[in-house]
């Protein structure tokens, strides 16, 4: 699909810039140019397509959908699925949480949404396609949804409501079925497109710096670290590699845009792909800044349980990835 782009990068670097093919510098620059253009094309396409879906299923509609009737457990899937198509700014997590539980959506279902939303989004999908190809992307998206469902279900079964902070409990006590009349936009797809395109451009602009830095670091590592370098240290046989990768990744705060270009190179140099995906899930899905935001609604104990359950699910999926990929 991107052969033409590789020709272009080769031509630009080796012919126009006159760098020699096969040198470390030439390889690193070629990698940078090729990956940057490829990622921005993919990112544009994926954010735009997801923007279209999202414009028909905005968050208010999702909430109404989930509150309207009893889904008998199917709501875990719906919440996780809708989480993937809803663009997410981590500072929205608290209002979102309150809005969901206030509307009568079970705690576990709400948490499933909160887990899946940052884990699988347009940016991570575009980055995965660009860095690891379609097969790995599909496995990532599916496991992101399944993982959110399972973690949400476990957290729901743990009956954590008493561990919410007091003001949230107050809200839950006084919850009433509000007038959730959601006004559907009556615009045609064609009328929506300018807004969707603007939104997609905004998302791209927001992550572009991360992408450039991520790919620049990746490019350097690509050119200068010998292939198979990490195999000696982190192999599939080492049972501790996945948990360590996840524990290191949880406190880190970045998005898929910054992490995946580096991970792609690490995988090329010998790190097992499952371990790498588990690491990126931990970085993207959980972080200290997110924890600080959630402290507003969760007591420390609940926060630790939340992080623990999600991290455990990521570790398990890391092992599974290593088995099947």
Nearest to 44 by CA among 256, 198, 244: 198
| d(C-alpha 262, C-alpha 259), whole Å | 6
Which residue has tokens 């309207």? 68
Go through 3-41 and write b for each residue having 16 or more CB atoms within 10 A of its CB, e for each that does not.
eeeeeebeebbbeeeebeeeeeebbbbbbbbbbbebbbe
Contact 21, 6 (CB under 8 A): no
The site string for other proteins over 51-80 (x = CB under 8 A, - otherwise) reads -------xxx--x-----------------
165/268 with CB nearer other proteins? 165
Q: What is the nearest approach in angstroms of other proteins to the Cβ of residue 167?
A: 6
Name the strand (E) or helix (H) holding 202. helix 189-224
163/171 with CB nearer other proteins? 171
The site string for other proteins over 284-313 (x = CB under 8 A, - otherwise) reads ---------x--x-----------------
Count Cβ atoms below 10 Å from residue 212 Cβ, excluding itself: 17
Q: What is the nearest approach in angstroms of other proteins to the Cβ of residue 109?
A: 15
By CB under 8 A, tell whether 161 contacts other proteins.
Answer: no
Contact set for other proteins, span 76-105 (CB under 8 A): 87, 89-92, 94-96, 98-100, 102
Q: What is the nearest approach in angstroms of other proteins to the Cβ of residue 92?
A: 4
| Residues at the interface with other proteins (CB under 8 A) | 58-60, 63, 87, 89-92, 94-96, 98-100, 102, 167, 171, 178, 199, 202, 293, 296
């Amino acid at each position: 699909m991107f052969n033409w782009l590789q020709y272009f990068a080769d031509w630009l670097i080796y012919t126009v810039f006159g760098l020699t093919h096969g040198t470390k510098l030439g390889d690193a620059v070629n990698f940078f140019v090729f990956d940057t253009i490829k990622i921005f094309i993919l990112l544009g396409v994926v954010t735009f397509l997801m923007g279209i879906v999202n414009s028909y299923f905005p968050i208010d509609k999702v909430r109404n959908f989930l509150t309207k009737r009893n889904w008998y457990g199917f709501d875990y899937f719906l919440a996780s699925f809708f989480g993937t198509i809803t663009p997410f700014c981590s500072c929205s997590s608290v209002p979102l949480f309150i809005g969901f539980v206030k509307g009568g959506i079970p705690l576990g279902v709400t948490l499933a949404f909160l887990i899946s939303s940052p884990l699988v989004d347009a940016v991570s999908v575009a980055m995965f396609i660009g860095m690891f190809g379609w097969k790995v992307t599909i496995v990532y998206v599916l496991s992101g949804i399944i993982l959110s469902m399972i973690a949400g279900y476990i957290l729901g079964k743990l009956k954590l409501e008493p561990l919410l902070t007091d003001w949230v409990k107050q809200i839950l006590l006084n919850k009433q079925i509000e007038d959730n009349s959601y006004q559907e936009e009556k615009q045609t797809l064609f009328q929506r497109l300018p807004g969707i395109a603007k939104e997609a451009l905004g998302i791209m602009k927001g992550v572009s710096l991360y992408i450039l830095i991520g790919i620049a670091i990746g490019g350097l590592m690509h050119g200068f670290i010998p292939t198979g370098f990490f195999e000696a240290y982190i192999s599939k046989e080492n049972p501790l590699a996945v948990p360590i990768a996840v524990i290191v990744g949880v406190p880190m705060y970045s998005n898929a845009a910054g992490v995946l270009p580096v991970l792609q190179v690490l995988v090329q140099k010998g790190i097992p792909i499952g371990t790498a995906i588990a690491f990126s899930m931990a970085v993207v899905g959980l972080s200290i800044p997110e924890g600080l935001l959630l402290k507003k609604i969760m007591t420390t104990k609940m926060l630790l349980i939340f992080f623990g359950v999600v991290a455990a699910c990521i570790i398990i999926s890391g092992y599974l990835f290593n088995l099947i990929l």
